[in-house]
Amino acid sequence: MKRFLFIIGLALCAIVAAAQTPKDVKLVFTEASDLNLIGKIHKETPNPYHRVDTVKFKGFTKGENRQVRCPAGLAVLFKTNSTIITVQTDWGWEYSSVATMPIAYRGYDLYIKKDGKWLWAASGAQKHGADSEKNLTLIEHMDNSEKECLLYLPMYSEIYSCKLGIQEGAFIEPIESPFRHRIGIFGSSYTHGISTSRAGMSYPMQLMRSTGLQFLSLGCSGNSKLQPYFADVLCAAEVDALVFDSFSNPHAEMIEERLFPFIEKIQTAHPDIPLIFQQTIYREKRNFNMAEDAKEAAKQETAARLMAEACKKYKNVYFIQTNATAPSHETTVDGIHPDDYGYTLWAKSIEKPILEILAKYGITCAKSPKKDTKRDWTEASDLTLCGKLMDTPNPYHRVDTVKYKGFTKTENGQVRMSSGISVAFRTNSPEIYVKTKYGTVVSYPNNTNGISARGYDLYIKKDGKWLFAGADAPSNKDLEAPVKLVGNMDDSMKECLLYLPLYSEEYSVQIGVAKGSVIEAIENPFRYRVGIFGSSYTHGSSTSRGGMTYPAQFSRNTGIQLLSLGCSGNSKLQQYFADVLCDAKVDALVFDGFSNPDAKMIKARLFPFIEKLRAAHPEIPLIFQQTIYRERRNFDQAHEKHETDKLEMAEKLMKEACKKYNNVYYIQTTNATSDDNNSTVDGVHPDNYGYTLWAKSIEKPLLKILKKHGVK
């Protein structure tokens, strides 16, 4: 009997293996709208991927007209046994942004149900400039079991046609929506999903997956201002409830003028459904900008005062509080919009009060400023540069690529990027600007936004701690235009830390302060020199801004200076990178060395790499981190095997290395995965919160090792 079961098991394994996607697979395509398209505020529109019929409904500005034609919040429900899922798109109007990743605004986000829950499976977008109709493979190498799928459409680009590709011979069918009721939600860029890394991470979509209730998004970035013509759209919608993010865009005077007429118009059309208004969130842009703080306070105070009156005056009207800020204040992308984790916090903060209100009704559930000449400009390299591994002819390069040879063309470009470098200074200026002359290397990966790739991230010390002050990047139209990071501050002396771009080369970085203000170097606020060599993780891919890499977070948390040599995709234990590290003046070396190489490469290269470094640095600790769990393993069997082989090989060899070599250590607690598995951008890279988890996971073991060697 056991032998029979064993043979059956082998046969099943063979079937699963055979089900993996063949190399030359032939695809067949199905229009997404022929499946089950959910999340639509109006069930019928001439173009099924539009949210509003802009011929029928009038009054929109040109920008608003475009926005309501974007499929933000729309998703496709289907089941398939295909081992591959692809998307082919015929685009209408396409958006571009520095604060939002292309994966979110012109890409797709796929979830598959596993153990009764929606689990992220894949996300992606075509590269900028690629053929817009080119087939995009979201996932392959799955087994051929039947899978229930939820595919979020692009957040901020118009679609004429969206066709899903599966392998010939497989089936694809619509499934009934598991999301109950129809709850309309009208709001600002927050509801639209700006600065999410992918479409499924907007707070309405997270709330939808969490509760099983269907939220019908009418998020319109910058344009949720209690307008009567938007009220017309909502009046005509078939909904069981309405939720509003209505106090984020309008100023206090506009709220005062428009709120009650807006409520009255909607309540006339929907007299018996709940109208739930949310307070706007705290914007980190207020931290030092006094004008922004006053404006936001006025909005919040006006909204709170009027809603207290509205809840008494009108039946079925409610007011709830929101939160998108972690205790660390590290959940913002640009001081206005939350990152993925910020939107997770938002969804969690409103879930309970919304469910409590809905239950009463039987709804239950299982910017670039104008050029300003009134500034003094200082070259950043004349101040204090932190995070540099070694001196270089160009102060913003990390490695002298004339002196050190062997790099590929890509690697040569990467070590000239300023990832991990920051500028420390003090100033009494009420505003801080930056302007840049970029070099030949300006990268913009699909899974990284413009602020982190080519922009700046400013922290200012407050009460002894570094607090976010501002982040931005120049627009595509004028890369050399000055960018305002913060304004309207008081004239006290402030200690500042400015993170440089992660994926760009700079020839010049100039910091602008108000005419006559003081700007001067301060002593490096971080102690010691701990080099860290690693992959795209260490480089900071998929962070929303430069200060959110895990080495940067670790340095702010501990006061110990990490000198980053993160090289996206190219940390493979190469001898020529060891040459660089051998010459670096460091007190310790940390490695994210097992993320890029495969198991065979780790086996061939690890010990020679250690031996070369050990010869140059016989006394300092060499600390290796295990690589993190990549979410793309969730369903892709080929990736699962590849990652498992790497992990096992690293584990085996590092146990031997720690015994064989003096002062070699291995950290196995590396973690960048949240409990809800929502801390990934593309299945490979963590989002901001994932990197926060990473920094926290290595802090204690790393400090313990460093302390042994006098690095405290």
Q: What is the 3-state secondary structure (H, E, C) of 441-483?
A: EECCCCCCCHHHHHCEEEEEEECCEEEEEEEECCCCCCCCCCE
Q: What is the reported pLDDT for 370? A: 42
pLDDT of 705 strictly over 70: yes
Residue 242 CA to residue 185 CA, distance in Å, equals 6
Q: What is the reported pLDDT for 136? A: 94
pLDDT of 118 strictly over 70: yes
Q: Are strands 588-591 and 622-625 parallel, antiparallel or unpaired?
A: parallel
- Cβ contact 89:159 at 8 Å: yes
pLDDT of 391 strictly over 90: yes
pLDDT of 373 strictly over 70: no
Query: What is the phi/psi pair of residue 146, to 5°?
Result: -70, 130
DSSP output for 92-109:
EEE---SSS-HHHHSSEE
In CATH, the number for domain 179-366 is 3.40.50.1110
Q: Which of 126-135, 257-266, 602-611, 618-627 has the lowest mean pLDDT?
A: 126-135
Residue 185 CA to residue 201 CA, distance in Å, equals 16
- Cβ contact 92:159 at 8 Å: yes
Q: What is the reported pLDDT for 126? A: 86
DSSP bridge pairs for 433: 484, 512
Q: What is the pTM of this model?
A: 0.86
In this prediction, residues 585-596 reach a mean pLDDT of: 98
The kind and range of the H/E element at 688 are helix 688-708
Q: Which of 90-99, 123-132, 492-501 has the lowest mean pLDDT?
A: 123-132
In this prediction, residues 258-280 reach a mean pLDDT of: 97
State the fold for domain 20-39+74-178: Jelly Rolls (2.60.120)
Our separate counts of H helices and E strands in the chain read 17, 30
Q: What is the pLDDT of residues 152-182, one digit of tens each?
A: 999 999 999 999 999 999 999 999 999 999 9
Q: What is the reported pLDDT for 13? A: 40
pLDDT of 98 strictly over 60: yes
Q: What is the pLDDT of residues 601-623, one digit of tens each?
A: 999 999 999 999 999 999 999 99
* Class in CATH terms, 527-712: alpha beta
Q: What is the reported pLDDT for 357? A: 93
What residues does CATH 2.60.120.260 cover in the chain? 20-39+74-178, 367-525
- Cβ contact 448:499 at 8 Å: no
- Cβ contact 243:266 at 8 Å: no
Q: What is the pLDDT of residues 638-679, one digit of tens each?
A: 999 999 999 999 999 999 999 999 999 999 999 999 999 999
- Band (pLDDT 50/70/90 cuts) for residue 133 is low
pLDDT of 12 strictly over 60: no
Q: What is the reported pLDDT for 445? A: 78
- 404 DSSP 8-state letter: S
Q: What is the reported pLDDT for 7? A: 40
First to last CA, the chain: 62
- The alpha-carbon radius of gyration of the chain (Å, integer) is 26
Closest among 254, 234, 235 to 187, alpha carbons compared: 234
Q: What is the pLDDT of residues 497-552, one digit of tens each?
A: 999 999 999 999 999 999 999 999 999 999 999 999 999 999 999 999 999 999 99
Q: What is the pLDDT of residues 270-307, one digit of tens each?
A: 999 999 999 999 999 999 999 999 999 999 999 999 99
Residue 525 CA to residue 531 CA, distance in Å, equals 16
The kind and range of the H/E element at 319 are strand 317-320
CATH match of 367-525 with 3.30.200.20: no
DSSP bridge pairs for 517: none
- The rounded percent of the chain whose pLDDT value lies above 70 is 95
Q: What is the pLDDT of residues 179-236, one digit of tens each?
A: 999 999 999 999 999 999 999 999 999 999 999 999 999 999 999 999 999 999 999 9
- Give me the chain's average pLDDT, please: 93
- Band (pLDDT 50/70/90 cuts) for residue 47 is very high
What residues does CATH 3.40.50.1110 cover in the chain? 179-366, 527-712
Q: Tokens 């032939």: give the residue.
A: 26
